[in-house]
Chain A
Amino acid sequence: MEQPSPSDGSAELGDSEECDSEECDSEECDTEECDTEECDSEECDSEESSVYSGLEDSGSDSDSPGSREEEEEEEEEEEEGHQEDEEEEEEGAPGSPSCPQTQAKGKRKSLEDDSPLEGKQDLVVHDEYEEDSSDEEDIRNTVGNIPMEWYQDFPHVGYDLDGKKIYKPLRSKDELDLFLEKMENPEYWRTVQDRQTGAEVPLSEEQLELIRRLQRGNFGDVNFDPYEPAVDFFSHEVRIHPVTNRPADKRSFIPSLVEKEKVSKLVHAIKMGWIQPRKPKENVPAFYDLWAREDPNSVLGRHKMHVPAPKIPLPGHAESYNPPPEFLLSPEEKLAWEQQEPSERRLNFIPQKFRSLRAVPAYSRFIHERFERCLDLYLCPRQRKMRVNVDPEDLIPKLPRPRDLQPFPTTQALIYRGHSSLVRTLSVSPSGQWLVSGSDDGTVRFWEVSSARCLRTIPVGSVVKSVAWNPNPSICLVAVAVDEQVLLVNPGLGDRLLVAATDQLLDSWEAPEEERIQPVRWIPASPEERGKGIRLLVQHDKPVTQVTWHGKGDYWASVVRNPGGRQVLIHQSSRRWSQNPFRKSPGMIQCVRFHPLRPYFLVASQRSVRIYNLLRQELTKKLQSNCQWISSMAVHPGGDNVICGSYDSKLAWFDLDLSTRPYRLLRHHGRAVRSVAFHRRYPLFASGSDDGSVIVCHGMVYNDLLQNALLVPLKVLKGHSPRLELGVLDVAFHPQQPWLFSAGADGTLRLYT
């Protein structure tokens, strides 16, 4: 709140501006009056002034003089019309103090100065000066608009116009003085301090009234009536007289050129057909008989290619609101359903039962399901898939019935018990009367086939890796591989003459004149060993894993576990002579066989089988087995077919005339195939595996080269119980009968007939 100056007590503080402006307005009107019309047209002026002053007051309290001037100008312009006429007269009058209009606009103040009327209201004019010269209302203190706290510590509060200090009133008033003053001075409540001068000023009645009015939110001016009836100039009522007497424009009498131009443009556009009338909305029915003329030609090629979207599967009983009780999920099933992925669920909802139709709620995923269907329709790739509508029976190959392919071993006939540990190997005598087996318990046992009696047991002291009965019926000799030795044993079974002849054959050896360097040492058996039946010991430098005889019965081959070095040795028992056929070893050798008819030697390494011609000393063929690790190999007595068993439970049948790849890869066994065997006379072959089973197959080889071999599995023989992950370790056929022997990890040998 601004402080009133003590000098003009009558002047009102907050109101001062308004009052001033009002006064000023009236002043201006006055000046105009005097400017324009000497002959006072009082009524008109008073009307105007009242109207405009009212408007201005309400509109802008703190109007700057500039803006006021603008308004003035407008007024003047309006008035120009009728002023113009009189202007000449005015100018004509020399004694008048009036000036031309232009001057009046720019230098109103000077004009006002000159006007003689001012003398009447000296004070007011003086005030106006002050207001005009500065924003501040009074300049009793010249310090300017600064925080008055800066003068807190000084005795004065500023300087007056003459540069004299304005001293603060003596402020020795303490609380008591204040109280006393409050009690004594009836004016105390209306006394305020002028911050400019520090003087205490009691407020006048008018000022108080003003404050009260403002506090109430009323208008500052007492005389102002905000609810004055509005006088509208432009009412709906038609007046006889114009509001202004300004003559009409010329352009309101003559036709408009711009319009003409526009119209002519439009007319031209219509003429040229650029503008056309808006087409009426055609009122054709939305639907009609679209397929009225079904044209067979309209069926495009596209439609033949079209893959119609599959229809949504129809609901089953489970979806019913009241399904049979068996279709409801048990708690476990419900749990499983909840844990499944939504895409894996067989039902996309949980079956529920409601007692009545009334109780059925809305299905919350209804919109979802429709939406998913939409997505399927436009996003799902479609592909025409041939439905495999085959009868599974048709897939099974039509094979000759096993019954028609008899004879083959079908049942387990005998069990040869005696070994205390797993039986690694077995061999049948060429007569088919005896059987030899080697076991991990360090013995070699000779059995009579028909009675399952153990006739002889030869302890050899170590694990027997391989036994092989000489295939020549005129020689009774068995090769036994033990550790680093191969023992040639004469079991002394059967014909005495034969036994004697064999011994004689072995003993007829005479040491050659010049000693040849041999890879092995041939050691004649000591008398003690001779008593056991051992005739010769062939000492190798590494453990021997396999021995195999040539068909003639003189040569035999042994495989030595000697990676990198020589692994295969071919021996001639009659001459006690050994040789190493290969300079280089083709990987780890698993198994070797002599070809039954031709001078071929088959060597199975880990993944392939090599066939060497021994006469010409060259590699004839290399068979790729497609297996990971060959375990065993057998040659068909015809000589043109080879089978290989592998540790990855496959059995590969090679047709040597056909290809170096397997003709057939049989995956019959569940586990590693340990050994395979061909029958010498019947078209049979067998494979023994770690799963404890022996599978007998019919393997018919035709003389006709155009016809491939016929392989038919005939029988799965089970008997051996797997032990230590090992099942059947060796299989062999009886030379004459369709019988099969098998050696198992359970320490038994079995005969199947």
Chain B
Amino acid sequence: MGGLEKKKYERGAATNYITRNRARKKLQLSLPDFRRLCILKGIYPHEPKHKKKVNKGSTAPRTFYLLKDIKFLLHEPIVNKFREYKVFVRKLRKAYGKSEWGTAERLKDNKPTYKLDHIVKERYPTFVDALRDLDDALSMCFLFSTFPRTGKCHVQTIQLCRRLAVEFQNYVIASRSLRKVFLSIKGIYYQAEVLGQPITWITPYAFAHDHPTDVDYRVMATFTEFYTTLLGFVNFRLYHSLNLLYPPKIDSQAEDELKPAEGKEYAMDSESYLERLSALSASLARAVAPTHEDEVEVDEFPVEGETAELMDAKKKEQEALEKHKKLFEGLRFFLNREVPREPLAFIIRCFGGQVSWDKSLCIGATYDATDPSITHHIIDRPRLDKQVVGRYYLQPQWVFDSVNAKLCLPMADYFPGVLLPPHLSPFVTEKEGDYVPPEKLKLLALQRGENPEEESEEEEEEEEEEEGDNDKEEEEEEDESEKEEEMKLQKMEEQKMEEQKTQSKVLPVKVTAGKVRLEDKQRLEQEQQSEEKRLAIMMMKKREKYLYKKIMFGKKRKIREANKLAEKRKAHDAALKEQKKKNKKARQA
């Protein structure tokens, strides 16, 4: 046999991967620099399929990068900038050490800087790619913009983050692209749809941060560095897509309106401009005057069959969307001072409403609390002493729930001091077999246009509940038809038991023998089928059986959880009813 001896680990998977340390040495960078480079360039470790082979027989835990990625990093101009910066720091230190202030000054003047434009372009070759990855960028910018101006990171970064976040919010208002909002215990989630891409971000509640010690702010700052660049370019493009000026200018008309309200100079002009922008109460100036004919009417093509149906559905959807965008059109809101101003102003403006607040609360208030044209007064305290006739006093959750429901919800549930209905997440779409909270069912009914009659008497309520139960059972039945037979059988039994129970409740002794026999036949069939299945499962290969068991385990767990939630709810409702009855009795007595 000729040829060279082929050594181990010089071919195949081992040559495609490189450990982090070796990559670092190849790039001649320190670990922090390498980290920064990876963050900026979006290089992430890869998990090899056969870790031991790649690790040259060792099982020590290591992070592996693709060799191609590292080679790609090799001719990145920023790497050189990092080195230059290192040299710069060294020189500066030297100059300071020798007290050569002139040199230090000169060095500082020539401080090497780098731009991330090309990296943004390279990572996101198309605009849509950039939009897709905007979630984290927005969340981070919104977080950084709430940081205090001291410590933790550069003031310029914080200011830039604030500016970009406000710009983005203004864009969302101008384009009316907000779709969903959610008040969670972590913060407020927003979801906007920009160019067909859902963009979700979270903002913390407006409180001072308790800065944790076990967080490396340098990592976050590096991310923010990239994200601000990305967001800036995205904002530019978005503004231009709407013919808005960038950097944003407040509409001159609106500006005039704002000016007299201020009275005297509020702050430095540059600062107050951003503040006025961030007040979110004024519309933005456009480069080209908007014309109403802009909106393109979709031409109708003659279509048949399924496509026509599809088109119809699409059209309907479009109409619903348009309606949703104009949800608060014509409504005038006033925010009381205890209400979080920024989120609410943002949301209301996103859906066409007008909003104002107390002049002393923030710059940008357009009308006063005494304005008679106010239709909705958002208030978050148990009661208000002086109520003005002709407007609704509502809790802030109404705004959020209405936006998620895509319609103005009945207001009775949201009056001040009233126990609020649960606030549901708009991001959950229940699939078959999932647990659906009854509130959601009610909401769906409302959306469908059915108006569930107001329950006035307890009997009615009970009846309704029973109906609800029946509905649920029916639904369960529907679900089961798709589920596997085994489940079905169990459920059937349960259901039967339940039915018997309910029957025994309603009509104590009316179980006919014939019926049972009929069911038995069906049951026999099912039993047979389930047994067939069980036998077939026995013949499965080991790997498939494992997979099957895993899937079934997941399914079963899901069902279990749903059942648990339903049970909990039932118990809760029962307890509530009991309480009510007691109260009633007490009142009667």
The chain A residues found within 8 Å of chain B, CB to CB, are 278, 286-291, 294-295, 298-300, 302-303, 307-309, 311-312, 314-317, 319-327, 330, 349, 351-352, 354-358, 360-371, 373-375, 377-383, 388, 390, 392-393, 395-399, 401-403, 666-668, 711-716
Contact = CB atoms under 8 A, between A and B. Distances in A.
A126 to B, nearest CB: 54
Contact of B45 (A315, A326, A380): A380
A287 B186 contact: no
B364 interface: no
Contact of B186 (A369, A396, A666): A369
B72 interface: yes
B170 interface: no
User: Among the interface residues B129, B135, B185, B339, which one has the most CB atoms of the partner chain A within 10 A?
Assistant: B185
B484 interface: yes
B139 interface: yes
B209 interface: yes
B395 interface: yes
B295 interface: no
B212 interface: yes
Nearest to B565: A326
Contact of A316 (B381, B425, B439, B569): B425
Contacts of A397: 536, 539-540
Contacts of A360: 183, 185, 205
Contact of B184 (A320, A324, A390, A714): A320
Contact of A381 (B63, B185, B536): B63
Given A290-B233, A366-B143, A395-B548, A278 B109 contact: yes
Give the one of B140, B184, B555 with max A CB within 10 A: B184
A695 to B, nearest CB: 8
Interface string B20-54: 00000000000000010011000111110000000
Given A290-B121, A392-B551, A399-B539, A322 B205 contact: no
Q: Classify chain B's interface size.
A: 35 or more
Given A299-B126, A326-B572, A381 B420 contact: no
A367 B203 CA distance: 11
B439 A364 contact: no
B136 interface: yes
Interface stretch (B215-223, B277-285, B494-502): B215-223
B114 interface: no
Contact of B220 (A319, A323, A370): A370
B569 A382 contact: no
Contacts of B148: none
Nearest to B241: A289
Nearest to A307: B44
Given A314-B425, A357-B396, A360-B185, A374 B380 contact: no
Contacts of B544: 395
A314 B182 CA distance: 10
B204 A363 contact: yes
Contacts, number: 257
A322 B44 CA distance: 38
Contact of A712 (B39, B68, B139, B539): B539
Contacts of B542: 667
B408 interface: no
Contacts of B185: 319-321, 349, 351-352, 354, 360, 363
Contacts of A356: 380, 395, 420
B133 A666 contact: no
Contact of A322 (B38, B45, B120, B397): B397
B30 to A, nearest CB: 16
Contacts of A289: 233, 236-237, 240
B47 A378 contact: no
Contacts of A363: 185-187, 204-205
B537 to A, nearest CB: 6
Nearest to B419: A355
A291 B130 contact: yes
B64 interface: yes
A370 B139 contact: yes
B191 to A, nearest CB: 8
A379 B45 CA distance: 6
Contacts of A402: 532, 535
A325 B419 CA distance: 13
Given A316-B428, A322-B423, 4 more contacts: A312-B136, A316-B425, A323-B422, A398-B536
15 contacts: A288-B233, A291-B124, A298-B125, A308-B133, A312-B200, A316-B427, A320-B184, A327-B437, A356-B420, A362-B205, A371-B219, A377-B223, A381-B47, A395-B540, A714-B535
A290 B484 CA distance: 53
Contacts of A367: 143, 209, 211-212, 215
B85 interface: no
B88 interface: no
> Which 10 pairs from chain A and chain B are nearest by CB?
A362-B207, A314-B427, A381-B47, A326-B569, A326-B568, A383-B47, A287-B232, A324-B422, A381-B45, A319-B184
A382 B424 contact: no
A593 to B, nearest CB: 26
Nearest to A278: B109
Given A287-B232, A308-B133, A399-B539, A317 B425 contact: yes
Interface in B96-149: 109, 117, 120-122, 124-127, 129-130, 132-133, 135-136, 139-140, 143
A716 B539 CA distance: 13
A309 B42 CA distance: 10
B450 to A, nearest CB: 21
Given A363-B186, A377-B136, A325 B215 contact: no
A750 B170 CA distance: 83
B519 to A, nearest CB: 21
Interface string B431-469: 000010111000000000000000000000000000000
A296 to B, nearest CB: 8
Contacts of B555: 392
B547 interface: yes
Contact of A358 (B210, B220, B381, B540): B381
Contacts of A286: 232
Nearest to A328: B568
Contacts of A712: 535, 539
Contact of A308 (B132, B339, B424): B132
B581 interface: no
Listed residue (B35, B47, B189, B422) with the most chain A CB atoms within 10 angstroms of its CB: B422
Contacts of B186: 315, 319, 349, 363, 365-366, 369
Residue from A288, A361, A375, A668 whose CB has the most chain B CB atoms within 10 Å: A288
Nearest to A391: B551
Contacts of A303: 125, 129
Contacts of B320: none
A302 B72 CA distance: 10
A396 B533 contact: yes
Interface in B300-345: 338-340
Nearest to B203: A366
Contacts of A324: 422, 424, 437-439, 569
A382 B43 CA distance: 10
A666 B140 CA distance: 56
Contacts of B184: 315, 319-321
B538 interface: yes
Interface in B511-542: 528, 531-540, 542
A371 B44 contact: no
Contacts of A351: 185
Nearest to A312: B135
B340 A357 contact: yes
A315 B427 contact: yes
Contacts of A290: 117, 120-121, 233, 236-237
A309 B46 CA distance: 12
B126 A291 contact: yes
A64 to B, nearest CB: 34
Contacts of B551: 388, 390, 392, 395
